[in-house]
Amino acid sequence: MDLGLTDKVIIVTGGSKGIGGAITEVLVDEGATVIIAGRKKEDGEKKIAELADRAGHADFFQIELRDDDRREELVTYVLGKYGRLDGLVNNAGVNDGIGLEQGSADEFVESYQKNVVHVYSLVQKTLPALKESKGSIVNIGSKVADTGQGGTSGYAASKGAINALTREWAVDLAAHSIRVNCVIPAEVWTPLYDRWIHTLANPEERLKEIVSRIPFEKRFTTAAEIANMTVFLLSNMVSGHTTGQIVYVDGGYTHLDRAYH
């Protein structure tokens, strides 16, 4: 299906790997130009090479998202090279394990820097261009904001803030015809998840336990399923009157009874 994204210019933070990489792939297949904003140049270049023969175009901008000057340079680069911006996907973040007993107040604030402040700042800096294009913003949240996880207060609070800001910005920006939505993953198999599960003493047993609690089909959500919903929400053709929504793509994990069999 043509989602009307051909030649649209969209920034995807953390767009080289995992969920972000899948979002980049679907957008490029839809004919969009994607600027991957990421820390590791080798990851960005690898993703660009993978997408070279597809319908759209991928570009890479190396950035430490906590660097405000670099955030400004990202927006300047995009507008200078492409002359417009039609969408922003705030995907980058880290579950850093800053817990109630394991972290300090300074580390809690740093968790906000990693997960919320750069999102707020990028929306601010891209706003003039998004107003001009009547663009769209999609934030990638986490079920941790709803369910808790234990041992990760900074990340849980950050993702709760992302949910709140999604609705706040949807109200702020409706008058400018800018739509703002949020996609919530729960258990998604990515390289990062694979690394995490293997830090546990009994990874195979723990994996089976997690899968057993996902109501729909007893399986992980795929990164492609998160990406498809994200791109759906970016498209004015199919989501043109959808804003302020927090959409759970999680096989029912967050809201259905996880003890369901």
Q: Any catalytic annotation for residue 155? A: yes
Of 77, 155, 193, 248, the active-site residue reads: 155
| Residue 25 to residue 56: CA distance in whole angstroms | 9
Tokens 């090279």 -> residue: 81
SS3 146: helix
What the block records as the tokens of 182 is: 């949020």
Burial (CB < 10 A; 0-12, 13-18, 19+), residue 85, is buried
- Nearest-CA neighbor of 158 among 195, 110, 204, 203? 110
Tell me the H-state helices in 218-258: 223-234, 236-239
Give DSSP secondary structure letters for 204-215: HHHHHHHHHT-T
Quote the radius of gyration of the chain (alpha carbons, Å): 18
Question: b/e per residue, 192-210, with b = 16+ CB within 10 A?
Answer: ebeeeeeeeeeeeeebeeb
* SS3 letters across 160-183: HHHHHHHHHHHHHHHHHCCEEEEE
The C-alpha atoms of residue 224 and residue 232 are separated, in whole angstroms, by 12
Q: How far apart are CA 232 and CA 125, in angstroms?
A: 24
| Residue 61 near residue 126, CB atoms below 8 Å | no
| Residues 120, 112: Cα–Cα separation, whole Å | 11
Active site residues: 155
